[in-house]
Amino acid sequence: MSRPPAKVRADQLKPYRAKRDFERTPEPAGEVSGAGEGALCFVVQKHDATRLHYDFRLELDGVMLSWAVPRGPSFDPQDKRMAVQVEAHPISYNQFEGVIPAGQYGAGRVIIWDRGTWAPVGDPHQGLAEGKLVFTLHGQKLAGRWELVRIAKKDDERDVHGDRPAGKREKQVPWILFKKRDAHARPRAEYDVVSALPDSVVAKPLPPADAAPLPGRGGGLVDESGAARAPGELSGAKRAPLPDKLPPQLATAATALPARGDWLFEVKLDGYRVMTRIQSGQPALITRGGHDWTAKMPAIAAALRALKLHSAWLDGEVVVFGDDGLPSFNALQNAFDHRRSESIVYLLFDLPYLDGWDLRAVPLRERRALLAQLLQRANDDDAHDGKLRFSAAIDADPASLLQSARQLRLEGLMAKRADAPYVSRRSETWLKLKTRQRQEFVVGGFTDRGGARNAAEIGSLLLGVHDERGKLIPVGSVGTGWDGRSAAELKATLVTLERKGSPFAGDAAPPGGRWSRRNAGLERWVEPQLVAEVSFADWTPDEQIRHATFEGLRADKPAAQVRREVVRMVGDRKAAPAANDVDAPNGRQRTQVKVSHPERVIDPSSGLTKLDLVRYYESVADWILPHLKGRPCSLVRGPEGVTGELFFQKHAEQLRIPELKSLDPALWPGHQALLEVPSARALAGAAQMNVIEFHTWNAQVRDIAHPDRVIFDIDPGEGVGWPRVVEAALLVRGLLEELGLKAWLKTSGGKGLHVVVPLAPKHDWDTVKDFSQAVVQHLARVIPNRFVAKSGPANRIGKIFVDYLRNSHGATTATAYSARSRPGLGVSMPIAWEQLSEVKSGAHWTIADAREHLSFVSEDPWQGYWKSRQTLARALKRLGAGG
């Protein structure tokens, strides 16, 4: 739909400006804009005011019409979300991220949670007047058709921000925002977009400081709406005749992304790869195997003709969306088998040739911008009835996207170099990261259900792949993934291909001597012509697939081309992680472990469960791992939760956690091997094994004899209020600054605060401990009514003990972002010193809201910590001189 005519009024921003002092707030004053060109924009800003809410804004008539949505949007059509209409904002507000200062309207932090374009269904002015606005969103998180419905005819008093005094509340109109039922809708139980993708779509750095920038970050991912450009204006475009053939570019299966480069991320589609050749306006739909399937998809062909292109090559994938709104490979097969092609949708993602111009040397970002432009024009004219769609890139942390893809049971993600050309071969500029291993296999035989030869259904398919010499090698079998009708149809097809001897090279069975324990010796062989798509958990050491599920037969790929898919490490990485763990950029990992007894409440005071704890650690892996990697770690386990027995575990003993590392016993002679938590898989696996807290040493494994930090644990005694704890932290910082040392701060997750001083690893343990003890003794001597230098509850009643014992050899402290095994499950959260006045306790954040807090963190509050290399020489001298 084209942009509706604007009804611009110069006074539309008066309420907005009246509420703000633009000399104090960084928000833009803005102007009412003219009609403009192109698509209308929308933005959703996450606003941490007195009450957290989401500001939903739609461009219309030169301003952003705005609604405050307390719980945020939901893809579940059954979720009717309150949306209180507030004052219109300037269009320039779309770029605002920052902090609205205290005392100003809406004081708090604001991030850009989502943004994109929107298209009204019908006349939006009429919809607003009648209280029923239907529209389509094309965002980085939100998509599909939505509706806003006004639920009160009269103005209703609503206090969105919670910061207006009684008697001065503005009358605001309540609406309801909800998702319409379409291909994008899905139950919140399966996918909650607010919790799955809590962060800003504007890139932000994460620790550690020595990590390379995230792919696509810095300049951000390409804006694929793009200004209108002709093909010949693109860099690398060449005049050339329409190629007769153009094989597709293929992706490399990968367990990791390279640490450098500008990458686009798309959802990996569960369908058939199809190239389209258009000559003189007539399309030909060509499969990966070179077969012309135009006649099989007449509706798609008609939609392509409606594009009115003279000549082109388009690249994409045909899919069918199932009842759950997700691409369904089985539904796609049924659409072809039963001639129901009207349900097929063609998702397009590349444009290697257009109207006399060869675009293969053009950077991907420019090819995709041109493709998006073509499809948007057709969409505005309703030329293709939704049969053709653009496979949009998603601007978000790919590791979080992959975790969401797992939750949605999607295949995975595609990663593509934004500056790469189009090449008709398998390349490492296109990568596929799968949530579960999946590939094609050749069907070389089958067994009957229950071993009965006259059974109507098959029992299992016997699978293989071709080796380098073209021989068919057995890789195992699959016996699940079909219903009764599909099993009968499979058997009927296979019987027509039956042969006497095995088509497999060498022995007829895989290693171990038999295909199936139940049907050993009852195998029936077929000509190796059928190709089955199969998902599976992993490859065994003897190269057999494990825990396989049949996804469907493929008719778009010849059996002779089926090889074992090689999963590559990309870039300069040396060792691959486990098969079901996927690395994110910069070595950041994401994994989602299966949680036993997920419903078990581990904190009765809050109702938080074991599942909540595991998912918390998965969600903060990027933040916590820099504090865990390379350090000996002790684990606090609580099998019965925080109210049961807790115990420290410093050695592996009988504990079996994937990727949990046992260190060299020589690091601590006379003791068992210490532990390290080096990866997201180990972190989540430990939480699954009832680990609540992670405590680390003050030295790294590479130089265990020399600590690289000093920690002062500000531990209040009985009767000490929180303001005194804050005062103590500031006093410790002041003393350290006098000694020439910079310090960083974090909450303890319990009652107090941790002041942390990074060091160059030059001093031995005794020196560091003696220094910390001297600091504490000095405080106790100079301010005896505040501090005490002796540990023990009886010695610190009404006073604060700054615990220096954390700096002894073998001692540990709860690491940053660790949960604490106390009622409430508080989190040890790094903060800037400037934030201290806002913190209300040492457990200000818990596992229930810590990740939400981090979504508003624009930069690592310890950014300078990672580069600091201080020594104690000067401080020891000054402290000694001070007596």
User: Of 44, 41, 40, which is closest to residue 55 (Cα–Cα)?
Assistant: 44
545-582: burial string, b at 16+ Cβ within 10 Å, e else = beebbbbbbbbbbebeebebeebeebeebeeebebbbb
Which residue matches tokens 């058997």?
Answer: 491
Contact indicator for 113, 126 with CB cutoff of 8 Å: no
Selection from 545, 620, 657 nearest residue 852 by Cα:
620
Active site residue 14: no
Cβ-based neighbours of 752, under 8 Å, separated by 6 or more? 713, 714, 715, 716, 725, 842
At 701, list the tokens. 């494994």
728 token code pair: 């103590």
Q: How many whole angstroms separate alpha carbon 844 and alpha carbon 846?
A: 7
Sequence-ordered list of residues with C-beta below 8 angstroms from that of 593, at least 6 positions apart, any chain:
614, 618, 681, 684, 685, 687, 688
Backbone angles phi, psi at 71, to 5 degrees: -100, 0
Task: Report how far residue 294's alpha carbon sits from residue 739's, in angstroms, rounded to the nearest whole number.
Answer: 78
> What DSSP state is assigned to residue 841?
S
CA dist., res. 274 & res. 285, Å (int): 6
Nearest 5°: the CA angle 797, 803, 805 is 130
Distances (CA, A) of 542 to 433, 436, 510, 523: 24, 19, 9, 21
Which residues 6+ apart lie within 8 Å of 167 measured at CB? none
Q: Quick check: 55 and 120 in contact, CB under 8 A? A: no
- 204, 268, 491, 650: which one is catalytic? 268
Contact yes or no for 648/636 (Cβ under 8 A): yes
Whether the bond between 120 and the residue before it is cis, its omega within 30 degrees of 0, is no
The Cβ of residue 589 has, within 10 Å, a number of other Cβ atoms equal to: 25
CB 84 within 8 A of CB 8: no
Rg for the chain, CA atoms, rounded:
31
Concatenating the DSSP letter of every residue in 587-656 gives: G-EE--PPPSSTT-EEETTTTEEHHHHHHHHHHTHHHHHHHHTTS-EEEEE-TT-TTS--EEE-S-TT--
- Name the token pair of 831: 């903060």
In a 3-state reduction of DSSP, which class is residue 831?
A: strand
Write the CB contacts of 291 (distance below 8 Å, at least 6 apart in sequence). 555, 556
Contact 879, 771 (CB under 8 A): yes
Phi, psi of 356 (to 5 degrees): 90, 0
Which helix (H) or strand (E) segment is 284 a member of?
Answer: strand 282-287
Residue among 810, 798, 818, 741 nearest 772 (CA):
741
SS3 content of the chain, % helix, strand, coil (to 5): 20, 30, 50
**Cα pseudo-dihedral 390, 391, 395, 400, rounded to 10:** 150
What is the DSSP secondary-structure string of 528-595?
TT-EEEEEESEE-TTS-EES-EEEEEESSS-GGG-BPPPPB--TT--S---TT-EE-GGG-EE--PPP
E strand or H helix that includes residue 124:
helix 124-130
> Where are the alpha helices (H) located in 705-763, listed in sequence order?
722-738
- Would you please indicate which residues are annotated as catalytic (active-site) residues? 268
